[in-house]
Amino acid sequence: MRRRIVAGNWKMNGSKDLAKELVGYVRSETGSLDNGVEVVIIPPALYIGDVLSQARGDLAVGVQNIAQWESGAYTGEIAPAMAKDAGCRYVLVGHSERRQIFGETDEMVARKVSLAVASDLTAIVCVGESLEEREAGQAEAVVARQVRSGLISVTQYSEWQNVVVAYEPVWAIGTGKTATAEDAQTMHASIRSVLKDMGAPADEVSVLYGGSVKADNASALFAEPDIDGGLIGGASLIAEDFVSICRSLP
């Protein structure tokens, strides 16, 4: 069985107050859901402790980025093992903002995935094409390359248990434009076939959709057979909307 996940990426937003109000509300509203959703909150690293104390073990917590090294003289970086030690269960790797703004390459993504998995964190590995790549008919090839190179170090069955893929078309992130459920399903099926070709237990790897998922479009996306949940940016900061998205998983 694949994990069904709704993860909220706060990006560089939030505060101690938001951690208290939003996480407490999400915890109380999603606790009784019977759709098997695992709710993950991914705040800025400074608020992980605040979120953990509100989550009280009912919600999982993740970190938005980790270093590509285990430890040492890397001022400002967070080691994978530290994220685990602090109570995180998830880490985002290769978010398009990290790739575009901070120059994160496929090779860096691969190193981070390898370290995350070794630290028993579940890596949510983000992949997705730009608008130019989609218009040039290269979307599936670009995403396949990102999946193959980002996950190159993952070989063992136990390691695949700590990998989630998030398909996030770059043109849909924070833009209000969403892939149609049909286009997203086509890409998710393509990702699953790449995973199979890599020797992964492809039917057990969760593939999330991200990119302007809102309360009013989540149900259509989540109804597709290869979409196992969502990675939510903007809407994860609005408590009622985020809860409604969690409820949209069938």
Which positions lie near ligand PEP, rule CB under 6 A?
A: 9, 11, 168, 173-174, 210-213, 231-235
Residue 159 falls in the annotated catalytic set: no
Residue 137 counted as an annotated binding residue: no
HEC profile of the chain: CCCEEEEEECCCCCCHHHHHHHHHHHHHHHCCCCCCEEEEEECCHHHHHHHHHHHCCCCEEEECCCCCCCCCCCCCCCCHHHHHHCCCCEEEECCHHHHHHCCCCHHHHHHHHHHHHHCCCEEEEEECCCHHHHHCCCHHHHHHHHHHHHCCCCCCHHHHCCEEEEECCHHHCCCCCCCCHHHHHHHHHHHHHHHHHCCCCHHHCCEEEECCCCCCCHHHHHCCCCCCEEEECHHHHCHHHHHHHHHCCC
Residue 234 counted as an annotated binding residue: yes
Residue 8 counted as an annotated binding residue: no
Which of the residues 129, 133, 168, 188 is marked catalytic? 168
Nearer to ligand PEP, 92 or 115 (CB): 92
Residue 168 falls in the annotated catalytic set: yes
Which of the residues 95, 97, 133, 188 is marked catalytic? 95
Nearer to ligand PEP, 16 or 177 (CB): 177
Taking the complex as a whole, the smallest distance from the CB of residue 196 to ligand PEP amounts, in Å, to 25
Nearer to ligand PEP, 194 or 235 (CB): 235
Taking the complex as a whole, the smallest distance from the CB of residue 234 to ligand PEP amounts, in Å, to 3
Nearer to ligand PEP, 193 or 219 (CB): 219
Taking the complex as a whole, the smallest distance from the CB of residue 238 to ligand PEP amounts, in Å, to 11
Residues of the binding site for substrate: 9-11, 174, 212, 233-234
Query: What are the residue numbers of the active site?
Result: 95, 168
Residues of the binding site: 9-11, 174, 212, 233-234
